[in-house]
């Protein structure tokens, strides 16, 4: 935060409490009432005749429209994984490549998501394009991209991001922010701007190969359009789902 910025604080929650049916005190009311928050969608609908034959072609079309609409980071997606015991977790990452083979993102293989994908490669993706009343959800299987593909992308990143991949043992505890910044400073001396930074052996890409892709379009009266592609032998079948 810049020195001219002022910290924003949420209003204090009401302290008055009521009793629950069993006589126990009810939790204090939240500061923001979310029960009435909603948008009334009025966008044009999505019909089967307008869909591309392949879901990745349809995704490319929608991503282009999301980008043209001026959305912030339209390539941001929520990646949901689960560990070997089925415990779920989710985080937002950036899509860094896509074609008919699937969706590509990059990570530390030793991160929480990396550990979970090693134990259970089944994964879900969500592209939440709220501003245009659209979302895309993907179910599939994650696999590591070939090393040359990882190296090509890594060397296209800004120098600072390359150093950051070395400095951070992603998802592992660290004693302090200063410790993280000290590691980065040491790496900046070791690999100054203009010199090639080697690719960390524990860092690379994942490709999510989809088995189902759903395109959701907000409509009036919550009668949204939901069209889902499902992989079948020799191609893709499209099914309309009720909202």
- Cβ neighbors of 110 (< 8 A, separation 6 or more) are 169, 170, 171, 172, 202
Joined tokens for residue 42 = 């009025």
Is the distance from CB of 212 to CB of 109 less than 8 angstroms?
no
- Find, among 172, 152, 174, 171, the residue nearest to 162 by Cα: 152
Q: What are phi and psi of 236, to 5 degrees?
A: -130, 140
Which residues form the catalytic set? 222
For 56-98, the DSSP string reads HHHHHHHHHHHHHTT-SSTTEEEEEEE-TT--EEEEEEE--EE
| Separation of first and last alpha carbons in the chain | 41
Supply the DSSP symbol for 49.
Answer: G
């Amino acid at each position: 935060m810049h020195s001219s910025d002022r910290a924003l604080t949420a209003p204090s929650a009401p302290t008055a409490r009521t009793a629950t049916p069993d006589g126990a005190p009810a939790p204090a009311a939240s500061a923001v009432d979310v029960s009435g928050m909603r948008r009334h969608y009025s966008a044009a609908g999505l019909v089967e005749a307008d869909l591309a034959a392949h879901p990745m072609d349809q995704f490319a079309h929608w991503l282009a429209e999301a980008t043209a609409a001026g959305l912030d980071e339209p390539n941001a997606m929520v990646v949901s994984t689960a560990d070997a015991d089925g415990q779920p977790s989710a985080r937002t990452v950036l899509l860094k490549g896509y074609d008919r083979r699937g969706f590509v993102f990059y990570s530390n293989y030793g991160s929480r998501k990396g550990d979970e994908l090693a134990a259970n490669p089944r994964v879900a993706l969500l592209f939440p394009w709220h501003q245009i009343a659209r979302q895309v959800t993907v179910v599939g299987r994650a696999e590591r991209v070939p090393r040359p593909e990882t190296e090509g992308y890594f060397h296209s990143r800004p120098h600072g991001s390359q150093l950051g991949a070395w400095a951070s043992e992603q998802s592992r505890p660290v004693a302090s922010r200063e410790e993280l910044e000290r590691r980065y400073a040491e790496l900046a001396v070791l690999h100054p701007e203009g010199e090639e930074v080697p690719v960390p052996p524990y860092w690379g890409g994942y490709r999510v190969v989809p088995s189902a892709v759903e395109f959701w379009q907000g409509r009036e009266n919550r009668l949204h359009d939901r069209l889902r592609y499902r992989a079948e032998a020799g191609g893709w079948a499209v099914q309309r789902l009720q909202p």
